[in-house]
Structure 1
Amino acid sequence: MWLLGMAAAMMATGLVSGVLAGLLGVGGGIVIVPVLFYVLPLLGIPEATQMKVAVATSLATIIPTSIISARKHFAKGTMDVSLLRSMAIPMFLGVLVGTWLAVWLKGPTLSFIFACVALLVALNMGLTGTEFRLRDQMPTGAPRAGIAAAIGTFSAVMGIGGGTVGVPIMTMFGAPIRAAVSTASAFGLIISVPATIGLILAGIGAEGRPPYSLGWVSLIGFALIVPSSIIATPWGVTLAHTIPPLWLKRAFAIFLAVTSARMFYSLFA
C-alpha cells in the first residue's frame, strides 16, 4: 500500500508539473524538486544526496515535457524565435556552470538557493502588474548574453526549466506574459539536456543514490512522473492562451511562494 501510495503521488506530481509546464513555461521542475525532496527521505536516501537526486531527476523529466510544451506554444505563434536564438548559446554556457555547481555544492546549499530564488521570483510576479516593466525591450549584446547565462546557471542548479527565472525577466523587459511563457518553454530544452547528461556522468558510482538510478537520475521517479506529465502539458498550454494575463502572473507567484516557504521550513525548522 505504501508503494502504491508513493506511485500515485509521483503520477499526481507529473500531472501538476505537466500543467505548469504548459501554463507557465516552467518545465514542471518547480513542483518536481520539492516533491522529490520530501519523498526521497522516506526511501532512506541520505540527506547529503537528496537534493542532488531531486535536481537531476527533475531535469530529466523536463526534457520530454519541454519538447511538447515548446511545440504547442510555437504552433500558437506567440514564441519569440529571434530572442530565443540570440540567448541559446550563452544560456547553454551558463547551464554548464550551473551543472558543475549542482554536482559540487552540498545538498542543504542547493535547497537554500532553490528557496531564495523561488521567493524572489514570487515577490516579483505577485507584487507587479501585467504592465510593469523596466524597459520596453530586452537589452542586446553582452547584457543579453549575461542574462541568458544567468538563467541557464540558476536553472541548472535548481533543477528547473528556464521559465521560473526567464519569464519574470522577459516581462520586466517588455515581453507580454504569453510571449514570455511561450519563449521560456523552449528554454527548458536548452537547459535540461546538457544538465541531465552532466549529472548522469557525475553520479555514476556515487554513494547514496536510490536503487535503479542512472547517475544521479532516479529512473523510477522518471518513469512515474513523465507519462502523466506528458498527458497534462497540452492542458496547460490551452489554459495559458485562455485565462487573463494577470491571473497567470498571480498563479505563478502563488506556486513559487508556497514552494519557497516549504523549502525554508524544512531547512530551518
Structure 2
Amino acid sequence: MDTTLKLLFLAATSIGILALMVLIIDIVMDGLGHFTPDLFTNYPSRRPSSAGMKSAIVGSIYMLLIILPVSFVFGVGAAIYLEEYAKKNRLTRIFQLNISTLAGVPSIVYGILGLTLFVRWFMLERSLISGAFTMTLLVLPIIIVAAQEALKAVPKARRDASFALGATKWQTVSRSVLPSALPGILTGVILAMSRAIGETAPLVMIGALTYVAFLPEKLTDQFTVIPIQIYNWISRPQTEFHELAAAGIMVLLIMLIIMNITAVLLRNKFQKNI
C-alpha cells in the first residue's frame, strides 16, 4: 500500500512538473519577441507596437516597499506577543484559530474588506496606499503563522540558558530567541510578499486601474500593478496584446524567482551565522 501511494505521488508530481514546464515554455515562446527594453520603459498604449508596462512595474515595486515594512512590524510583533507573552488560555486559542482561518480566506474577501475599510471609511480613495494596506491585511495572517512556527522551533534550552544568566524576558526574546528564529521569519515574509505581488482580485475590488500612463508621485495617487496590466492585455482580442501579456508574465515570474532565491539565500546565511 505504501509503495502504491508513493508511486501515485511521484506520478502526480511528475505530471504537475511536466505541465508547468510546458506552460512556461509556451509563455516564453509567445512573449520572448516583446521582452525588450521597450517593455520596461514604455507606458501602456492602445497600439501594441509601442505598449509597455513601466507604470505597472513601478506600481508593483511601490506596493512592495509599503507592504514589506508594515506587514513585517505588525506580523512579527503579533507572533512574538502570541508566542512569548500571551497567556495560553481560551482567548488566545480563539485568536490563534482566527489567524489560521484568515490565512486561508479567499483573496477577494480582503478586497471587499479593503474597499469598505480604507476606500470608504477612511476615505483614502482608490489610491496606492489603499491597495498597499489591503494587501497588508492579506499577507499578515501568513506572516504571523510563519513567524510563530519559527519561534516555536527555537529550543527551550536557549531560553532557559538566557534566563539563567540573568536576562530579562525582552532581552531573552530580542537577543536570543529572535535571532535564532530570523531565518524562518524572513523566509515566511518573503514568500508572503511573493503572494502579494501576484494577487489581482483584491486590487480590482478597490479600483486599481487597468490603464495607467503615468507614475504615482504620492501615496494618494491612482496606480496599477503587473497582474492587472497582464489581465488588461489578455482580455483584448488582438494577438499582439496576448504576446505582450506573455512577456508581462515572464517579468512577473522573474520577480517571483528572484524573491524566492533571496529567501533561500537569507535563510542559509542566517543559519550559518547562528
TM-score, normalising length: structure 1:
0.31
Larger Rg: 2
The two structures have a TM-score, normalised by structure 2, of 0.30
